[in-house]
A and B are shown apart, each in its own frame.
Chain A
Amino acid sequence: MAAEARGIVAILEPAAAPTLTAEVLGVARRLGNDLSEPVTAVVLGGAQVEAGRLWELGADRVIRVVHPLLELFNLDAAVNALEPLLRRENPNVVLMAHTFQGRALGPALAFRLQTGVATDCVDLRTDSQDRWVVLTRSILGGNFRAEIVIGSRPQVVTLRPKAFPPAEPEVGRAGAEEEFTPELDPARIRQEVRRRVQEAPTEGVRLEDARIVVAGGRGLGGPENWYLIEELARALGAAVGASRAVTDAGWVPTSLQVGLTGKAISPDLYIAVGISGAVQHMAGVSSAKTIVAINKDPDATIFKYARFGVVGDAKQILPALIREVKKALGKE
């Protein structure tokens, strides 16, 4: 008889924002406590990652999976490296963030291991009797939610960034560590990742980490008015985001897109300008604390989510708002 699947494995990306790592480990620790199962942090391609911080965030054991082909994310290399490790570990649950890496890796790993996967989960709870996890996913863009269970192990889960509280570090907590060097058969690495092209601005605050985000949509009228978004962001020390309508239209790079198919963010203040508030967009800001909406259309859906609303033309409101913000923050 096969050994019982046990343990929580959190697959971590060394380049991920520290808060995202803490979110995934926070969920892993919670499941580990609820189910009395150990937590293993698996760092894909992360020779330089300090185990200490991961122990403090809740990992009992840290496994670094190290291979030159894992330095940039290569789906074939990642799946072929993780498959033997996960077969050896035989965990109950495999967690990872629903980043662009997780979006590809979660389903690919699940199919390789012939198990089920729940993607982009926004909540979860345990059913301790059978050690299944009840997973909440948002569907139809966010208009509805579904609670699902995966009926096989490992239960593979990708977690929506910013949807779960980050683990609080427990200073001095220590654990075990090891290195895993996969044998990768070149014949099974059928894709080559040649280079990475950064399109997001390299200066200023990162969209995912920003405390304030100013985002623009089609209601701005045209790309010639985009400077108003940038000026307001500069005045506030904020990051710039965009709706899919304007990234699709090519006004700004895809990396600024906020929403279901873009980034999930959780600023304290989100100023949405000329954004109608489709659920697919709101899925990316459901963890924002305060939303300010500026929109011409008084019936725009965005006002249902907003704490403060201004009905008006962004081209008139923004120049005045930029002046007021500068005055208030003493930048004038």
Chain B
Amino acid sequence: MNIVVCIKYVPDWEAPASQFRIEDTRLVPAPGIGYRISDTDDEAIEAALRLKEKHGGRVTAISLGPSAARDGLKHALAMGCDQAILLEDPAFEESDAAGTAVALAAAIRKLGEFDLILTGRQAADWDQGQVHAGIAELLGLPAVIPAKYIEWTGSEFIVHRIYEEGYEEVAVKPPCIVACSNEIAEPRYPTLRGIMAASRAQIPVWTAADLGVDPSQAGRAGRRTRVLRLYTPQVEARCEFIEGDTPEEIAAKLVQRLREEKLL
């Protein structure tokens, strides 16, 4: 089974907001902020590796630049991916979801035969959740968004698509694309051997020309959305702390305050 995993390498989204600076319409992380494979993209890698371990085949990780994403791809290799490819070109800079999907879809086409594309459900920086749907549309594939379970029966994938009250069992034939939710698989830590091998690995770089991507379809030129401004929402701190010598006293005071506020 040949699986392609699309990952995004993003600034640590759990860093405090004070560690980011708004510069015009861009969010700039402080110099000390680390980058990580986005939330749920690492779960997608894990899901791919488990399918490969069970059914054989290859797992290829791809990421659209910047060049820092090379470190994310090395992490993917260290986890056990067989191959990693970086898509990098000035023509890709400032791509929104539309341009990103165009570049990733072109790279997947260039890779040749595959059975399954896995992505995370939404990248942790912009929280949009669009690129999976874009790749599906561009490659003419069925998509299941978002999934918390996937298995291969030998003829089809059984995917559990999350909905508000539980999940739906969706059967889908390869090739297809599945956006992974965090429940799908707990990502493994790379082994020392994996890290060593990944550090020596060469990661090929594919440019817009390599992919035959029309520059008008990606980067700034290909944007379908425009950011007007970024700002920090104000949170007004006004917490009234309830104190007391015993849990009983605290509980009684809290209930009294809630009743005074007509909340109980």
Contact = CB atoms under 8 A, between A and B. Distances in A.
Contacts of B166: 196-200, 253, 255
B250 A317 contact: yes
B20 A303 contact: no
Contact of A104 (B145, B246, B255): B145
Contacts of A111: 98, 101, 130, 133-134, 136-138
Contact of A320 (B13, B183, B241, B251): B251
A294 B28 CA distance: 34
Given A100-B162, A115-B224, A107 B134 contact: yes
A137 B97 CA distance: 15
B136 to A, nearest CB: 7
A199 B13 CA distance: 30
Given A103-B146, A117-B97, A141-B13, 11 more contacts: A104-B146, A107-B130, A108-B143, A137-B127, A137-B128, A144-B230, A193-B170, A198-B166, A236-B264, A261-B181, A307-B239
Contacts of B96: 116
With most chain A CB atoms within 10 A of its CB, the pick from B144, B239, B251 is B251
Contacts of B162: 100, 254
A159 interface: no
Contacts of A115: 224
A236 B258 CA distance: 12
Contacts of A307: 238-240
B224 A151 contact: yes
Contact of A144 (B14, B20, B141, B242): B20
Contacts of B209: none
B228 A147 contact: yes
Interface in A240-262: 244, 247-248, 253-255, 260-261
Given A152-B224, A304-B237, A311-B241, A143 B17 contact: yes
Interface in A135-160: 137-152
Nearest to A247: B183
B44 to A, nearest CB: 14
B182 A329 contact: no
Interface of B: 13-14, 17, 20, 22, 25, 27, 40, 96-98, 101, 121-122, 124-130, 132-134, 136-138, 141-146, 148, 160-173, 176, 181-183, 186, 223-233, 235, 237-243, 246-248, 250-252, 254-255, 257-259, 261, 263-264
A308 B250 CA distance: 12
A192 B182 CA distance: 23
Given A118-B225, A192-B171, A321 B251 contact: yes
B225 A200 contact: no
Q: B interface, by DSSP: helix, strand, loop or mixed?
A: mixed
Nearest to B121: A261
B239 A140 contact: no
A312 interface: yes
A6 interface: no
Given A148-B225, A321-B254, A190 B176 contact: yes
A72 B161 CA distance: 12
A305 B257 CA distance: 17
Interface of A: 72-73, 75-76, 99-101, 103-104, 107-108, 110-112, 115-120, 134, 137-152, 190-200, 208, 212, 236, 244, 247-248, 253-255, 260-261, 263, 268-269, 278-280, 290, 292-293, 303-312, 316-317, 319-321, 323-325, 328-329
B125 A140 contact: yes
B125 A320 contact: no
B20 to A, nearest CB: 7
Nearest to B240: A308
A152 B22 CA distance: 26
Nearest to A122: B233
Contacts of A290: 261, 263
Contacts of B248: 320, 323-324
B168 A108 contact: no
Contacts of B14: 278
A141 B168 contact: no
A193 B134 CA distance: 21
A151 B263 contact: no
B27 A116 contact: no
Contact of B127 (A151, A260, A305): A260
With most chain A CB atoms within 10 A of its CB, the pick from B161, B225, B227, B230 is B225
Nearest to A290: B263
Nearest to A17: B164
Given A191-B171, A236-B264, A328-B255, A143 B181 contact: no
Contacts of A279: 17
B247 A317 contact: yes
A72 B168 contact: yes
A218 B46 CA distance: 24
A119 B20 CA distance: 22
Which 9 pairs between the two chains have the least Cβ-Cβ distance? A116-B224, A199-B166, A107-B133, A111-B137, A190-B142, A320-B251, A143-B17, A320-B247, A104-B145
